[in-house]
Chains A and B, each alone.
Chain A
Amino acid sequence: MKNELQQRLDAAKVSIMCAALRELNAAMSDIEASAYISLDGYTIAAELASGVDSNRLGAICASMHALAQRASQEIKHGAFNLLLIESEQGYMLLVKSSVEAMLVVSTKPSKSLGMIASVSKQFAEKLKRIQETHKVAAAT
């Protein structure tokens, strides 16, 4: 059982992460939704359209992340950074964030894919820092 302080810190961390995700969703008009997901498939923070099951999405993204990482190794391309899914109605990006988590970004069909990828990577780094900062806080 977690103590009360730890629970409050966790809740604070999630709300700071959600704020960062909202900032990401607003950073470019093509970006529609995003989520921060642990590598074993738990959604840590999410700003998704209503009707999207964030738990199910989290699990599926963990499977894809693990396979993408394996595929990069298999073809000897080194560490995995980003997985791109192009669909009729938009793009989905899985961006490596830390050894524990990834950032998932969903967009409309867009001509600014390079920009979207670069902004997503910046936010993946930002979310990683939020997670780490709060770990230190929790430890002290």
Chain B
Amino acid sequence: MKNKIIITGAVGSGKTTAITSASDTLVVDTEAADTDRMRGESSKTTVAMDYGTLNLGAGAKMHLFGTPGQERFSYMWEILSTGATGIAILIDATSVNPLGDLDFYLEVFSDLISKCGGVAVIGITHTDVTRNSRILEQFNKRLSEVRLSVPVFEVDCRRREDVRTMLYSLLSLSESDDTHALSH
């Protein structure tokens, strides 16, 4: 599948919200009421996948596959990653350890990132509710430490334009190493 993009990240980082905001078609989500007492009573969590599409013009499409965040569903990460051509990792800026989350997802998806030829982006979410104004800087520092040239965006998943900007950047990354990315 051309332009199959995986959107991953921790529980509550905003994956389902992001796909719902960005998609041009009705999203297939698989949310179940979260019975885990750690979270709010009415919260929902993804148990299989989210699926949406983004029209790229000339009939081309980006296929967006969101993963579940909970590690109990990690077998889905592998299933969904098959044949992916790009990945977006969402990190919740309000999490206990955002840099730790970044390390975790870079590690788990390292094979996919190299298979995709580095077509990867990081989206920092929930920045509207955190006090850490240096987070973007910290992320860029960490990425250069691990020698990954991956763009980092601040993304409010509820805002269509934010999510789309992040996803379009994946496209330009893939075009730079595959000039035929849009030809199918």
- Could you list which residues of chain A lie within 8 angstroms of chain B, going by C-beta atoms? 38-42, 55-56, 59-60, 62-67, 69-70, 74, 100
**Contact-residue bracket for chain B:** 10 to 19
Q: How far is the CA of A39 from the CA of B75 in the complex (A)?
A: 17
Are A100 and B47 interface neighbours, CB within 8 A?
Answer: no
Q: Which of B41-60 contact A (CB under 8 A)?
A: 45, 47-49
Q: How far does the alpha carbon of A34 sit from the alpha carbon of B73 in the complex, in Å?
A: 21
C-alpha gap A67/B49 in the complex (Å): 8
Is B82's beta carbon under 8 Å from chain A? no
Residues of B within 8 A of A41 (CB): 32, 47, 72-73
B residues near A (Cβ < 8 Å) are 28, 30-36, 45, 47-49, 68, 72-73, 75-76
| A46–chain B nearest beta-carbon distance, Å | 15
Contact of A40 (CB < 8 Å), options: B28, B36, B49: B36
Which residues in A have their C-beta under 8 angstroms from that of B35? Answer: 38, 40, 42, 100
Of chain A, the residue at the smallest CB distance from B75 is A60
Q: Which residues of B contact A64 (CB under 8 A)?
A: 48
Q: Of A39, A55, A56, A74, which contacts B47 at CB under 8 A?
A: A39
**What is the CA–CA distance of A59 and B72 in the complex, to the nearest angstrom?**
6
Given A42-B35, A66-B31, 8 more A-B residue pairs with CB atoms under 8 Å apart are A39-B32, A39-B47, A40-B34, A40-B45, A41-B72, A59-B47, A63-B68, A100-B33
- Give every chain B residue within 8 A of A40 (Cβ-Cβ): 32-36, 45, 47
In the complex, 16 of the A-B residue pairs with CB atoms within 8 angstroms, ordered by the A residue number, are: A40-B32, A40-B36, A40-B45, A40-B47, A41-B47, A41-B72, A42-B35, A55-B72, A59-B72, A59-B75, A62-B32, A62-B47, A63-B73, A63-B76, A66-B30, A67-B49
A129 to chain B, nearest CB (A): 19
Are A70 and B28 touching (Cβ within 8 A)? Answer: yes
Inter-subunit contact A63/B28 (CB<8 Å): no
**How many Å lie between the Cα of A74 and that of B25 in the bound state?**
13
